[in-house]
Amino acid sequence: MKVSKAGAVAATLAVALTASGCAEDAKEPIAIGIKFDQPGIGFREQDGTFTGFDVDVATYVAKQLGYKANEIEFKQVFSSDRELLIQYNEVDFVAASYSISDKRKEKVDFAGPYFIAHQDLLVRADDASVTKAEDLNSKKLCSVTGSTSAEKVKALAPKASVMELEGYSECLVAVQDGSADAMTTDNSILAGYAARKENTGKFKLIGLSLSNENYGIGVKKGNKELQKKINAALTKMVTDGSWEAAVKKNFGPANYKYEPAPMVTSGN
Ligand code: GLU
């Protein structure tokens, strides 16, 4: 049977409309990778809503790209699978305490940076035995697979006994129950845990600045158009005051002394 082009299009449209119920639903949501277990950064609340600085940044960027908040699908990413999920189109972009690094740039591109954090240590509040990175050489240290923090541990404390877990919330449990003495990652993340109501008085940050972590938004390698659009959105977020409002809202409760907004540098 010979089907005219217009007929074929109409048939496809009819199927699409039937499948989605109505034409307005036809827009695909934008899929954004965030962390689900990092309070103040990327966190899934008990009621299923999402909070945190990365969530606010991602929502702002999505809006600039033409997506309303209810047209966003947040997907959980771990430190170790961010590149992979971008490469396999599981997400359109990742905003997940994701440091821009040369190694990662071999696999993905980054927009940004939009935030600067520093690697630090978190220990139990009553532990006075750790004041600097070298003190970890006789300690059990928890870190997360695939993170820049885990990579730096060997240089910081070569003799530390290191356990690598999937996420920072697991490390926190390990520090609390004594199976680890300390955990290491960005101070922005550690401050968020220490500030949780249920953690009051339990943990402290040492206050070191062991690295500079420039958070970027990861996109598919070669997608220069999206990278450019996200850079424009991030720049706008800073100039219209939304960035400052978002850091205050998300890091204020943790009393975290954040750095000023970095310059967005195109073509990361
Ligand atoms: N910012 C660091 C990184 O991208 C540590 C935080 C994380 O693992 O998400 O690896």
What is the per-residue pLDDT for 23? 53
CATH number of 86's domain: 3.40.190.10
Both 84 and 123 in a single domain? Answer: no
User: Is ligand 1 within 6 A of the CB of residue 144?
Assistant: yes
pTM value? Answer: 0.90
**Full strand arrangement of the beta sheet holding 161-165:** 161-165, 140-144, 182-186, 119-124, 203-205
Residue 195 has pLDDT above 50, yes or no: yes
Both 87 and 40 in a single domain? Answer: yes
Residue 71 in any domain: the answer is yes
Residue 51 in any domain: the answer is yes
User: Is ligand 1 within 6 A of the CB of residue 38?
Assistant: no
d(CA 219, CA 223): 7
Both 243 and 110 in a single domain? Answer: yes
By most ligand atoms within 8 Å of CB, the mutation choice from 38, 105, 143, 149 for ligand 1 is 149
Residue 189 in any domain: the answer is yes
Residue 240 in any domain: the answer is yes
Tally of domains within the chain: 2
Residue 125 in 3-state DSSP?
A: coil
Instruction: Single out the residue of 91, 66, 112 nearest to residue 217, CA to CA.
Output: 112
Both 105 and 124 in a single domain? Answer: no
What is the per-residue pLDDT for 24? 55
What is the per-residue pLDDT for 13? 46
Both 62 and 109 in a single domain? Answer: yes
Instruction: Please give the number of the atom of ligand 1 that sits closest to the Cα of 144.
Output: 8
CB 158 within 8 A of CB 149: no
- Ligand 1 center from residue 148 Cα (angstroms): 6
Both 98 and 218 in a single domain? Answer: yes
User: What domain range includes position 230?
Assistant: 30-117+213-254
User: Is ligand 1 within 6 A of the CB of residue 213?
Assistant: yes
Residue 12 has pLDDT above 50, yes or no: no
Residue 268 in any domain: the answer is no
